[in-house]
Amino acid sequence: MSESTFRSVEIERTSVGQYVVRNVRGGSMSMGTGQDASFTPVELLLAAIGGCTAIDVDHITSRRAEPTQFSVEVTGEKIRDEAGGNRMQNLMVEFTVTFPVGADGDKAREALPRSLQQSHDRLCTVSRTVELGTPVSIVEAAGSTGN
């Protein structure tokens, strides 16, 4: 892995079911089981899917006009089944975007459907990874089990 392709976060337990997620740039956020206002891991997955697509669409359309409204809702159903285990299904990313009246707004409106499709088909790393499926390895770090 090269330095330009490597990504990571660190998760530290703060109490039972409560964690802090940190990135290498110094950002942090709380994560938990849903017993308080902290985001759950599933909510973070939904946010990652929607956020990735939002960034793509925003960069493409805002070159033409600044949106007057830009919001994204990401939904899905968490299911439990014997064959596949716990997972999400019926994931949907819904955009509500409006642009100002005028030629620039018209250009942005025209670019919106194509930018959504480009993000879905090739740009959004998160949704592409989910849709294509990528194996996840879980390992125990050396020396993590005892004194």
Domain boundaries defined on the chain: 8-39, 40-132
> What string of DSSP letters covers 17-73?
TEEEEEETTS-EEEEESSSSSSBPHHHHHHHHHHHHHHHHHHHHHTTT---SEEEEE
In whole angstroms, give the CA distance from residue 138 to residue 69: 41
What is the structure's pLDDT at 82? 87
What is the structure's pLDDT at 144? 76
CA atoms within 13 A on the CB side of 72: 18
The DSSP symbol for 109 reads: H
**CATH class, range 40-132:** alpha beta
Predicted model pTM: 0.91
Closest alpha carbon to 73 in 55, 57, 50, 97? 50
What is the structure's pLDDT at 83? 84
In whole angstroms, give the CA distance from residue 47 to residue 73: 9
What is the structure's pLDDT at 1? 62
pLDDT in tens, the chain (147 residues): 667 899 999 999 999 999 999 999 999 999 999 999 999 999 999 999 999 999 999 999 999 999 999 999 999 999 998 888 999 999 999 999 999 999 999 999 999 999 999 999 999 999 999 999 999 999 998 877 666
What is the structure's pLDDT at 49? 98
